[in-house]
Structure 1
Amino acid sequence: MRSLHTAPLVAAVLLAATLAANDTYAQGAPQAITERRTDVVQLASGYRASKLTGADVYNRNKDTIGTLDDLIVSPSGDRSTYAILSVGGFLGIGKHLVAVPFNDLQINNRRIVLPEATKKSLEALPEFKYAD
């Protein structure tokens, strides 16, 4: 009877000894954090994606050519950012989503400009669809 009560204790001690002897890491791999200084004052004056979403996008002629639907960071190694624009449609019906490089946009006082674009040129781009 006495050995039945000590079996769980022995198992726990063996498990603890095994874990202590091995190098264990969070999520199975060693973690390295590279320290990099950021000018937080300058960064704080930037534009938050949540504040830009839903904003109208204009061209050089001040024509409304679409709406900023989202920002997506590419999963590729370069981590490029793309603006997902909603163009065409009426009241959300028939809208066409397109992806344009974020660097092509000009943002000044929360006004978003894609200088050379037109509604027609954006509607001619391949349609973007969110992955499920």
Structure 2
Amino acid sequence: MKRANLFLAAALGVSALGTAVVLPAAPTLAQGTTQRIATTKVDVATVATGHRSSKIVGAKVVNDQNDTVGTVDDLIISPRDSVPYAILSVGGFLGVGDRLVAIPYSALQITDDKIELPGGNKDALKNQPAFHYAKS
């Protein structure tokens, strides 16, 4: 019986610790004042059906005719307006001579089996302004 109580106490302690870690602490601003952090309820079931960046980055992008027009090099969220962009690698061969271009993520049609850029073609993408990563 004592062993069961000890086990229950340990489980409750871990649970309490998990709660303490999950809840965000209010940052201290100045001598005893704090700022509250707003939270938003998220429908996790809907989010779980979304597209994982780990499955998108590195995937080939095709056009309406199923011709490969590039690959997804990265996904970036604009700091100004929080709009997501897909960085595509176009042209080149095995990463040599390729060009990076940014397109709005919303321009892509993503299904379980492919990523499509309707109306996309290599020449039009190569003529887009080159994208260069900002130096950190």
TM-score, length of structure 1 as denominator length: 0.75
Structure 1 runs not aligned, ≥5 long? 1-20
The one of 31, 52, 58 equivalent to 1:54 is 58
Q: How many residues align?
A: 106
Separation in 2, partners of 1:131, 1:72: 11
SS of 2:64's equivalent in the other structure is coil
- Report the AA paired with residue 23 of structure 1: G
Structure 2 runs not aligned, ≥5 long? 1-29
Separation in 1, partners of 2:117, 2:85: 13
Separation in 1, partners of 2:98, 2:112: 26
C-alpha RMSD over aligned residues: 1.5
How high is the sequence identity, in percent, across the aligned residues? 50
> Deviation of residue 91 (structure 1)?
1.0
**2:85 aligned residue:** 82
8 Å Cα contact 1:52-1:110 kept in structure 2: no
Give the number of the structure with larger relative contact order, counting CA–CA contacts within 8 Å between residues 6 or more apart.
Answer: 1
TM-score, length of structure 2 as denominator length: 0.73
8 Å Cα contact 1:71-1:83 kept in structure 2: yes
